[in-house]
């Protein structure tokens, strides 16, 4: 008989606010991560503090924000009104305490539930808040949510505002690091949504004067768009849009200055309203996919008391633009604005109107040309027994699990039987899958999407990811290119990145594509293999040798390929301590220019780049015993 579990009054436990946050951090900041993804927890912590400063600016207080981020410390100083001195402690350590419940003070704020700053406090090994208000100042220091030091009211000559400093707790955020590009993108988004705001970040000045128009200008290449960016502004709504030559749809959506990476009701409304407006304007029933193909758009709305689908505020759930039940729905609000403004714009700009029509009709022709090929390709994919031949799938499919579990799903793309075998045997079968390439994939630079269906390997990969109709059904949150760290491996990486950037650029833009980093060296005590250090670079190898410097001899192994690493050992590199390098599009890099530079004809510029960055690596003694 199974042992009975005791259940009485002693089984009931109440957690205080900080205990609950630390026990269930995912409820408050989403996934934890190590900083290799833009939505990892350490960036959410920065965002939560920034949101408060942005809300002050939005209400008309403070034209600048100063941010300093070092390896593990974040400082954010705004010049708003400053927290009332008598409430400094409460505002950062008492749940449901804040100044945003009175909608008269913060009409269209992002954070209304009084949790964000408290979550940062509870999840930080060091947290300090200091308020400057009318010649007086007060500061409080915390550790993991507990007060350690508190000042009384002090005289100050500092301008009004608030300074918050924190260090994420490394027992929760393990081996974390900030990636500058992710921070830059976050700050630029704040500036685009708050034209005229100055953000000083680590000595660099960020400012946008034209809002979403600047955003699209910085995200596109003037030579790669089909007509000048359309920029429409109204009360509580702003839209910028154009069409390019790329495949897929590219959207940037915002609510109350918050980047909603997963969209929501406002983006759904825009996508449908765009189709309806275009159909009505041209009096033609264009297919939805033809109108939206290759679109690049940014949408921002301001909603009173928004409802988000999670604490991290990445998807808007509000149906109405205010709590008033008689207020218009978000869809009606967006639709009425777009129908009036866009229709009027097209009437007044006949050249743009004609370019838009030509782009839609081009998409229509391409779709019809692909129809027959797609049908045959889908039939071939079924016959290929996808899930047995190329894809060693995981059990934790996105369609079968809770939303929070989707973060953990990974597909490794690798080449060669030995490497695929090692990863397959050492992976977590619940969350990790393996797709095996057969040799080097085709260089698809400059080819049309027809090749995705005609090339068996690309077609099967497309089906494995389930991205034929966009990213809504993407089956794996992380797509990891796992190749040898040699010339052939680098070439395969380039070919796979070319495939994704050419045909499915949203995978890269939305942070789904990574490069697996595996160790180059294993340094260990030949008499005690528990004393083993794995090094991912020559610099790390030298540090490992110094660390084991007390030994007379050490054993150094140089891994030349993934297939040389045993499955047992491989498990150490794709588990909790996995090192992933995210594929990031630099702000200045547009996809057409990037692909032309790396995969186009052998230009003098690329030759010079290769020569300047050439590294001659000397082979390190392999499987040898050397003096430390």
Give the domain ranges of the chain: 17-206, 212-366, 384-518+580-589
User: d(Cα 416, Cα 436) in Å, to the nearest integer?
Assistant: 7
Q: Give yes or no for residue 341 having a pLDDT over 90.
A: yes
Query: Rounded to whole angstroms, how far apart are CA atoms 164 and 142?
Result: 11
Is a pLDDT exceeding 60 seen at residue 85?
Answer: yes
Output 12 or 620, whichever has higher pLDDT.
12
* Contact (Cβ atoms closer than 8 angstroms) between residue 246 and residue 311: no
Least confident among 192-196, 242-246, 377-381, 496-500 = 377-381
Residue 527 has a CB neighbour count (10 Å cut-off) of: 9
- For the stretch 397-444, pLDDT in tens is 655 555 555 667 999 999 877 788 889 999 999 999 999 998 889 999
d(CA 220, CA 215): 9
Rounded Cα–Cα distance for residues 69 and 166 (Å): 10
pTM (two decimals): 0.84
Q: Is 524 left (phi over 0), alpha (psi -120 to 50) or beta?
A: beta
Phi first, then psi, for residue 482 (nearest 5°) are -115, 100
At a CB cut-off of 8 Å and minimum separation 6, what does 12 contact? none
How sure is the predictor about 110, in pLDDT bands with cuts at 50, 70 and 90? low
Quote the pLDDT of residue 611. Answer: 63
- For residue 224, what is the DSSP state? G
Query: Is 384-518+580-589 in the same CATH topology as 212-366?
Result: no
* pLDDT tops 60 at residue 104: no
Q: Sign of torsion, CA 188 194 200 202?
A: negative
Query: Mean pLDDT: which of 30-34, 108-112, 323-327 is highest?
Result: 30-34
The radius of gyration of the chain from alpha carbons, rounded to an integer in Å, stands at 27
628 pLDDT band, cuts 50/70/90, is very low
Question: Which of 106, 59, 103 is closest to 79 using CA atoms?
Answer: 59
Closest by CA position to 501, among listed 177, 224, 178: 224
Query: pLDDT grade, residue 389 (50/70/90)?
Result: low
Q: Is the pLDDT of residue 604 over 80?
A: no
- Are 66 and 349 spatial neighbours (Cβ–Cβ below 8 Å)? no
Q: pLDDT at residue 476 above 50?
A: yes
Quote the CA–CA distance of 98 and 59 in Å, as a whole number: 15
Q: 40-54 as b/e, with b when 16 or more CB fall inside 10 Å? A: bbbbbbbbbbbbbbb
What is the rounded distance in angstroms from the CA atom of residue 260 to the CA atom of residue 267? Answer: 9
Token reading at 494: 């380039």
The pLDDT value given to residue 376: 82
Query: What mean pLDDT, rounded, does the chain reach?
Result: 85
pLDDT at 164: 97
Query: Which ranges of 138-287 would DSSP assign to H, the alpha helix?
Result: 180-192, 212-219, 265-282
pLDDT at 365: 94
Reduced to 3 states (helix: H, G, I; strand: E, B; else coil), residue 413 is strand
Instruction: List Cα–Cα distances, 215 to 44, 50, 238, 243, in angstroms.
Output: 21, 19, 12, 15
* pLDDT above 60 (res 625): no
Question: What is the Cβ-side half-sphere exposure of residue 316, based on CA atoms within 13 angstroms?
Answer: 31
Instruction: State how far the Cα of 237 lies from the Cα of 297, in Å rounded to an integer.
Output: 13
The CATH number of domain 17-206, selected from 1.10.10.10, 1.20.140.10, 3.30.565.10, 3.40.630.30: 3.30.565.10
- Enumerate the β-bridge partners of residue 553: 627
* Percentage above 70 pLDDT, the chain: 86
pLDDT band for 112, please (50, 70, 90 cuts): very low
- pLDDT for the residue 291: 97
Q: Does the pLDDT value for residue 300 go beyond 50?
A: yes
The CATH class of 212-366 is alpha beta
Q: How far is CA 176 from CA 146, 342, 512, in A?
A: 23, 45, 18
Per-residue pLDDT for 342 more than 90? yes
- Summarize pLDDT for 113-158 with one digit per residue, the tens: 457 899 999 999 999 999 999 999 999 999 999 999 999 999 999 9
pLDDT at residue 11, rounded to an integer = 56
Which of 460, 471, 452, 463 is CA-nearest to residue 512? 471
Residue 612 binned pLDDT confidence (cut-offs 50, 70, 90): low
pLDDT in tens, 250-293: 999 999 888 888 888 999 999 999 999 999 999 999 999 999 99
Asked whether the beta carbons of 312 and 29 are under 8 A apart, the reply is: yes
Q: Looking at 93-97, 111-115, 161-165, 208-212, which range is the least confident one?
A: 111-115
Lowest mean pLDDT among 109-118, 175-184, 498-507, 514-523: 109-118
Give the C-alpha separation, 43 to 24, whole Å: 17
pLDDT at 58: 86
Q: Is the pLDDT of residue 623 over 60?
A: no
Q: Tell me the per-residue pLDDT of 551-564, one tens digit each, with 9 for 90 and over.
A: 778 888 888 788 78
Cα dist from 2 to 5, 215, 591, whole Å:
9, 62, 61
Q: Are the C-beta atoms of 316 and 308 separated by less than 8 Å? A: yes
The top-level CATH class assigned to 384-518+580-589 is alpha beta
For 308, phi and psi rounded to 5 degrees? Answer: -105, 160
Return the closest-CA partner of residue 503 out of 457, 467, 474. Answer: 467
Residue 295 or 562, more confident = 295
């Amino acid at each position: 008989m199974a042992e009975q579990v005791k259940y009485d009054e002693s089984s009931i436990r109440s957690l205080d606010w900080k205990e609950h946050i630390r026990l269930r951090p995912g409820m408050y900041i989403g996934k934890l991560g190590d900083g290799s993804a833009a939505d990892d927890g350490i960036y959410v912590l920065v965002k939560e503090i920034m949101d408060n400063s942005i809300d002050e600016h939005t209400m008309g207080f403070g034209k600048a924000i100063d941010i300093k981020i070092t390896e593990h410390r974040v400082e954010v100083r705004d010049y708003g009104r400053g927290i009332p001195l008598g409430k400094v402690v409460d505002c950062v350590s008492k749940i449901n305490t804040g100044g945003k419940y009175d909608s008269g003070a913060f009409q269209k704020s992002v954070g209304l539930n009084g949790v964000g700053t408290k979550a940062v406090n509870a999840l930080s090994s060091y947290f300090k808040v200091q308020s400057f208000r009318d010649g007086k100042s007060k500061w409080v220091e915390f550790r993991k949510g507990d007060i350690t030091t508190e000042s009384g009211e002090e005289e100050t000559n500092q301008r009004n505002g608030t300074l918050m400093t924190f260090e994420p707790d490394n027992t929760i955020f393990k081996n974390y690091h900030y990636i500058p590009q992710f921070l830059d993108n976050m700050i630029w988004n704040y500036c685009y949504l708050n034209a005229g705001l100055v953000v000083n970040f680590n000595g660099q000045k960020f400012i946008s004067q034209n809002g979403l128009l600047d955003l699209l200008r910085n995200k596109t290449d003037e030579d790669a768009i089909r007509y000048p960016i359309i920029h429409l502004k109204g009360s509580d709504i702003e839209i910028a849009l154009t069409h390019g030559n790329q495949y897929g749809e590219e959207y940037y959506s915002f609510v109350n200055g918050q980047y909603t990476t997963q969209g929501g009701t406002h983006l759904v409304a825009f996508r449908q309203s765009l189709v309806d407006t275009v159909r009505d304007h041209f009096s033609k029933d264009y297919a939805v996919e033809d109108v939206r193909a290759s679109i690049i758009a940014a949408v921002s709305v301001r909603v009173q008391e928004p409802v988000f689908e999670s604490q991290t505020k990445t998807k808007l759930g509000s149906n109405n633009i205010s709590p008033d039940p008689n207020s218009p729905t978000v869809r009606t609000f967006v639709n009425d604005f777009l129908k009036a403004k866009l229709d009027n714009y097209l009437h007044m700009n006949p050249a743009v109107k004609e370019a838009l029509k030509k782009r839609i009709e081009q998409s229509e022709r391409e779709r019809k040309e692909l129809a027959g090929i797609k049908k045959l390709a889908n039939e071939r994919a079924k016959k290929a027994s996808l899930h047995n031949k190329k894809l060693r799938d995981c059990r934790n499919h996105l369609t079968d699990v809770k939303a929070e579990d989707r973060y953990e799903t990974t597909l490794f793309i690798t080449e060669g039987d030995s490497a695929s075998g090692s990863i397959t045997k050492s992976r977590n079968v619940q969350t990790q899958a393996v797709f095996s390439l057969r040799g080097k994939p085709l260089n698809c630079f400059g080819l049309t999407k027809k090749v995705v269906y005609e090339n068996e390997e690309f077609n099967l990969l497309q089906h494995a990811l389930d991205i034929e109709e966009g990213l809504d059904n993407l089956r794996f949150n992380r797509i990891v290119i796992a190749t040898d760290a040699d010339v052939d491996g680098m070439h395969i990486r380039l070919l796979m990145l070319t495939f994704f950037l050419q045909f499915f650029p949203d995978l890269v833009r939305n942070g789904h594509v990574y490069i697996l980093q595996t160790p180059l060296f294993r340094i260990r005590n030949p008499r005690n293999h528990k004393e083993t250090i794995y090094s991912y670079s020559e610099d790390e190898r030298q540090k490992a040798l110094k660390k084991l410097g007390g030994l007379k001899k050490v054993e150094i192994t140089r891994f030349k390929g993934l297939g040389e690493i045993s499955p047992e050992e491989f498990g150490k590199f794709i588990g909790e301590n996995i090192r992933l390098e995210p594929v990031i599009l630099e702000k200045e890099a547009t996809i057409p220019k990037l692909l032309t530079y790396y995969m186009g004809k052998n230009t003098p510029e690329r030759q010079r780049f290769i020569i300047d960055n050439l590294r001659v690596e000397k082979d390190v003694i392999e499987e040898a015993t050397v003096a430390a």
